[in-house]
Amino acid sequence: FSLSLKLEKKAKGKLQKQICQVVLDHFEKQYTAELGDAWSSVREVLTSPWCWQHAVLLNRFSLSPGLESSLAEQGYHPAFPAALPYLPAAFRCYSSAAPGRFPAQKHQPGRLKDYYLLNAASLLPVLALEVQDGEDVLDLCAAPGGKSVAILQCACPGHFHCNEYDDLRSRWLEQTIESFIPDPLINLIKVSKLDGRQIGHLQPESYDKVLVDAPCSNDRSWLFSADPQQAVLRLMQRKELSSLQFQLLRSAVQALRPGGTLVYSTCTLSKAENSHVISLILNSCREVMPVDISGMARGVSQEFTFLSGTQHHELLVLPEKGRAWGPMYVAKLKKVSS
């Protein structure tokens, strides 16, 4: 017992040392101002990776017999209640209040994985999108592919366009799709490496649903930047992210058909990259209106902690001990006319 305690302390100490102080100082200043009292408990979770949780999204195309009973035996429970307004029967995700990670499966060419490990909050943008069979769907910034895989657990789109501009991340996306999706369905999926800011111009009014899971200042990973110089550079470039996010959103609006819906998400707590970007698009695009997602937030309130005081068309998941999901910002919009 004493050895395991020592190892745990050593692991904690090692992880603690890896926290990038320059990033933590920056977050401390910004998020104390933006989140107030909520920041101290969020900071405690973000800086304590040993208390992070991982959900298990089952792959409907390759279900291993006994997997669900094995998850139940290990204390996992369905992460999303059946009472949610939109929860397809095939969509099954399990989570546990205990920290830790279910064993990962390695990529094997020609063999599908049974499940995807992820932050449960990252599924909220997919559920907010409410994809139906036969719809034309665009995942504008799709790598590493978790949300694309999740969309295909919900429905079978008529056409599914997964885009990733970065070359390395695009290869990662292709491997993820190959690991989870059977050949007949892969033929419905188009993977491209286009500049997301140009897609609306290249393919105007082509999609019923668009997901913009935008590049953002990833609070969890940035806090553990191994290279302090890279961290400083990231923080300097952070100011430019909201401009990129706005341009991606504007492109997504162009790509959307009238009557279509768009979901915007990030994994940062930053107001500049979240509600400010959405306010800017609502103020500058007359054809876009907000969609109420407060019902979805209420439906999953047992599983997630949300920042209070947000608008009805947005939510922000705050990490908390025992519910260490997020950060995850989600906003939903609808295109009313072209």
Q: What is the pLDDT of residues 208-218, one digit of tens each?
A: 999 999 999 99
Q: What amino acid positions are annotated as catalytic residues?
A: 267
Within-domain flag for 93 = no
CB distance 58 to 117 below 8 Å: no
Q: Is residue 318 part of a domain?
A: yes
Tell me the pLDDT band of 280, cut-offs 50, 70 and 90.
very high
Residue 79 lies in a domain: no
The enclosing domain of 196 has a CATH number of 3.40.50.150
Judge whether 317 and 296 are in contact, CB under 8 Å: no
pLDDT of residue 114: 97
Q: 10 Å Cβ neighbour count for 312?
A: 13
Residue that the structure tokens 């162009």 belong to: 254
Does residue 225 lie within any of the structural domains?
A: yes
Rounding to the nearest 10 degrees, give the CA dihedral for residues 244, 246, 248, 253.
Answer: -170
- The reply to whether 316 falls in a domain is yes
Q: Please, which residues bridge with residue 328 across strands? A: 317
**Residue 142 belongs to some domain of the structure:** yes
pLDDT digits (tens, 9 = 90+) for 3-48: 444 444 544 444 445 899 999 999 999 999 999 999 999 999 999 9
In a domain, residue 60? The reply is no
pTM, two decimal places:
0.93
- Binding site per annotation, positions: 141-147, 164, 195, 213
Q: CA-to-CA distance for 38 and 56, rounded, in angstroms?
A: 27
Total domains present in the chain: 1
CA atoms lying within 13 Å on the CB side of residue 103? 6
Residue numbers in the known binding site for S-adenosyl-L-methionine are 141-147, 164, 195, 213
pLDDT > 80? residue 185:
yes
Crossing angle (nearest 10°) for helices 228-255 and 21-35: 50
